[in-house]
Structure 1
Amino acid sequence: MRDSVWKWQLVDDIRQIDAATWDDVMQPDTPFNCHSFLCALEQSGCASADSGWLPMHLVLYQQDELVAVLPLYRKLHSYGEYVFDWAWADAYERYQLAYYPKLVTAMPFTPATGVRLGIKQGVDRQTVFSLIIQVLQSELVEHSSWHGLFMTEAESLEWQQASLQPATMRASTDAPTQQARLLPRQGCQYHWHNRQYQSFDDFLEQLTSSKRKNIRKERRQVAEWDYRWRSGSEISAAVWQRFFLCYRMTYLKRSGHGGYLNQAFFQSLSEFMADSVKLLLVCAHGDEDAQAVACALYFHAPDSDTLYGRYWGCLEEYDGLHFETCYYRGIDYCITHQLACFNAGAQGEHKVLRGFEPVITYSWHLIAEPAFEQAISEFCQAEIKQNQTYMLQLVAALPYKQTAS
């Protein structure tokens, strides 16, 4: 797809794209699709060929002006995505077909909904979506599939609309003649919504009596600890080292490996994203920050109405400390700072009983192999129906006196 108007490029290092230009085009709606977060992942080696996340960011030019960017990675596995396709890979293997490498548009290791395709203001969005789809289809010559994960609902609709438009040009002479269709997929996360609560007790008053009592009991169990919020510029190398120890030990206990991210990445956040990083330390009274027994890493970008809870770790297990550090302190932060939403990460049905509500997550997929495309399409449609039923059950289980709307 190269003519006198449009051309595209794959970039294997985000530093080749000017940071201000990336952010101007992307207009980041989360801390995770901004240039600085992705750069921190790449420079630390967390998103690299060695980790199985080879950057191949797609850049679109109009009359030699950069007008669109799509984060893109060549994947050699399915780790760190949180939209699970292991069953698809297993099916390919049974038929002796290669599922890897594949292409993924996502924020590595970060299951947070946000804009995926950044388009410069004033450029025709429908045209850009259509052209980007054609480029991705052409890349299926060398990849089994493309997966766009955790899109916003509005952007998901734009992908759908663009997929229905006829192709305006071939992305390359190598593009397959039978073009893969975009297949929708849905999942579920649990987010807490602030309904103009004035205090944590004000929030609790909206819950049923039994749930309110349970949360108060959980909080009393760990009330003796000293909880300290630190912003990015306040976090020393020693504190980051302590956080990384907590993070790594907790990963080892739960999954048998030390986590996807390294200490260099976390420490770089104080340089790259000081204004967005919020680290919650749990200490004994009188201890230094670097003696914390547990830590939770949050992100809250300036001018954003959402708090993101991302990584947690502890040196010893204490009843109720995870709920307090990762959920209740986050809720309290949102109320104090008048934030609208708290996204505490993927999975965790236990969040529902603590006031987190189910929300739909959206992804789109291109499958190169026609025989598997049909089977995966049927799988996704069945999964969407199951997800709808599941979410209705979760709504019925919400602890509010009257179901929140």
Structure 2
Amino acid sequence: MSDEIEVFLTPTIDGIGAVDWDACARSNVDGRAADPFTTYRFLHALEDSGSVGPGTGWHPQYIAARKDGQVIAVAPMFAKSHSQGEYVFDHSWANAYENAGGRYYPKLQIAVPFTPVTGTRLLAREGFEMIGRAALAEGAVSVAAQNQISSLHITFCSTEDREAGTQMGLMARGGQQFHWRNRGYEVFDDFLADLSSRKRKNIRKERATAQGFGGEIVQFTGDDIRPEHWDAFWNFYQDTGARKWGTPYLTRAFFDHVHETMRNDVLLVLALDAGKPVAGALNFIGSDTLFGRYWGCTEHHPCLHFELCYYQAIDYAIAHDLATVEAGAQGEHKLARGYLPTPTHSLHWIADQGFRRAVAEFVAAEQAAVDEEVEVLTAWGPFRKDARDEDHD
């Protein structure tokens, strides 16, 4: 067998194919994808729906490594003409670089578009983990350098990706999100029992307020999700997207693709008033994690956002023995609702040596602040002290 590894790019995921892509992504564990966002079907839905590609600023340049004719590693890489939809913010880097006369865009981004959830980004077939990750990282840096691209960014990557990247000289950057952890709870009240009395009472009050909005709250997944549910959720998503980003990132067709190929990986929580959806939260289901993604409403009801996005997600995770709920980017309000600060990771390569040193100094100072914030927020979390201590036994 040859020791040579060929790295290649393709502007469509079909240039790699579903079988090889999912073999590298390890897309199925006990019948369900560990990470639904790196599956062929999710990335293909983004591409085929026009959510990425021409006019979006996300131009697919999927990178793959091949050995002896077999694809051994893949990564979702994009040429970016802006820094939107990433959630690891480098706008200040771009401004500084361009104010100094440089050209920051286009840049290369290895990421799942619009999806701030942690997962493996350098995806390798079983048995090829070390050489596969190395080939992808080195290949991506070479593409950037040869094309005089300012930078490469690998965002929301796993700790394994982070370790592999730093060994190859990439710069590590830390962040934090709020995640809920299942401590073997059998029912929601078991979770509440771990909280301080004041937080426990507040959550019970919020749930009672939300559930008394005048209608019913229903969880839908698989074939129970109907086209009219997606029509309603599209309206919710447009409203939220317009307020947060100006223009929603995903197209209406994306949700049709998800229904066609991923409805068993979806938990859609809807608040129904006389059968009409008035609010909803979209989650994706992994083998051990529930990923909260989007929320929206056409009517405001007190505490309904907390119920649909956070408490219903916890209910589902407990009922289905999932270890974690990831509730998306930012939001310190999640802390009072049982979601604790959790480190996130990204990797960066900067072409210009002087700018690289400046960014490294910024990242080091930022990391110290992030570490301190995680420590403080954890100490001020909603859990009883003895319950917190159990996590460190």
TM-score strictly above 0.5: yes
- Band the TM-score falls in, shorter-chain normalisation: over 0.9
In the other structure, the counterpart of 2:30 is none
The question of whether the paired residues in 1 share the 8 Å contact of 2:310 and 2:327 is answered with: yes
Tell me the TM-score normalized by structure 2. Answer: 0.93
Per-residue deviation at 1:137?
2.1
Match of 2:217 among 210, 227, 235: 227
Match of 1:246 among 233, 236, 242: 236
Match of 1:130 among 131, 134, 144: 134
Residue-by-residue CA offset, 1:70-116 (whole Å, 9 max, x unaligned): 11000000000000000001001211211000000000000010111
Give the Cα separation in 1 of the matches to 2:53 and 2:222. Answer: 24
Give the Cα separation in 2 of the matches to 1:296 and 1:52. Answer: 26
In the other structure, the counterpart of 1:98 is 103
Residue-by-residue CA offset, 1:15-54 (whole Å, 9 max, x unaligned): 2222121111121331101110000000011111310100
The question of whether the paired residues in 2 share the 8 Å contact of 1:250 and 1:315 is answered with: no
Per-residue deviation at 1:235?
2.2
Amino acid at match of 1:293: V
In the other structure, the counterpart of 1:22 is 21
In the other structure, the counterpart of 1:330 is 313
Residue pairs, 1:215-294, within 5 angstroms? 215-224=203-212, 225-252=215-242, 254-255=243-244, 257-284=246-273, 286-287=274-275, 291-294=276-279
In the other structure, the counterpart of 2:285 is 300
Aligned to 1:158, the other structure's residue is in SS state helix
Aligned to 1:363, the other structure's residue is in SS state strand
Structure 1 unaligned regions, length at least 5: 164-180
Match of 2:72 among 62, 67, 71: 67
Per-residue deviation at 1:357?
1.0
Q: What is the aligned residue count?
A: 377
Aligned to 2:43, the other structure's residue is in SS state helix
Give the Cα separation in 1 of the matches to 2:372 and 2:23. Answer: 40
In the other structure, the counterpart of 1:149 is 155
Give the Cα separation in 2 of the matches to 1:392 and 1:217. Answer: 28
The question of whether the paired residues in 1 share the 8 Å contact of 2:78 and 2:108 is answered with: yes
Identity %: 41
In the other structure, the counterpart of 1:390 is 373
Per-residue deviation at 1:258?
3.7
Structure 2 unaligned regions, length at least 5: 28-33
Per-residue deviation at 1:154?
2.4
Residue-by-residue CA offset, 1:345-384 (whole Å, 9 max, x unaligned): 1111111111111110011000011110000011111111
Give the Cα separation in 2 of the matches to 1:256 and 1:126. Answer: 38
Per-residue deviation at 1:122?
2.3
In the other structure, the counterpart of 2:44 is 39
Aligned to 1:196, the other structure's residue is in SS state coil
The question of whether the paired residues in 2 share the 8 Å contact of 1:211 and 1:353 is answered with: yes
Amino acid at match of 1:300: I
Give the Cα separation in 1 of the matches to 2:237 and 2:4. Answer: 48
Aligned to 2:37, the other structure's residue is in SS state coil
Amino acid at match of 1:6: I
Amino acid at match of 1:83: V
Identify, as 1 or 2, the structure richer in helix: 2
Tell me whether 1:183 sits opposite 2:171 in the alignment: yes
Per-residue deviation at 1:256?
6.0
Aligned to 2:263, the other structure's residue is in SS state coil
Give the Cα separation in 2 of the matches to 1:4 and 1:348. Answer: 47
In the other structure, the counterpart of 1:318 is 301
CA separation of 1:50/1:397 partners in 2, compared to 1, >3 Å: closer, same or farther?
same
CA separation of 1:220/1:4 partners in 2, compared to 1, >3 Å: closer, same or farther?
closer
In the other structure, the counterpart of 1:167 is none
CA separation of 1:256/1:12 partners in 2, compared to 1, >3 Å: closer, same or farther?
closer
Per-residue deviation at 1:4?
7.7
Amino acid at match of 1:94: N
Tell me the TM-score normalized by structure 1. Answer: 0.90
Per-residue deviation at 1:337?
1.3
Per-residue deviation at 1:134?
2.6
Give the Cα separation in 2 of the matches to 1:158 and 1:93. Answer: 30
Per-residue deviation at 1:295?
0.8
The question of whether the paired residues in 2 share the 8 Å contact of 1:232 and 1:279 is answered with: no
Tell me whether 1:192 sits opposite 2:170 in the alignment: no
Match of 1:207 among 195, 220, 226: 195
Tell me whether 1:119 sits opposite 2:124 in the alignment: yes
Per-residue deviation at 1:65?
1.4
Residue-by-residue CA offset, 1:288-338 (whole Å, 9 max, x unaligned): xxx20001101113xx11111101110022110100110011111111111
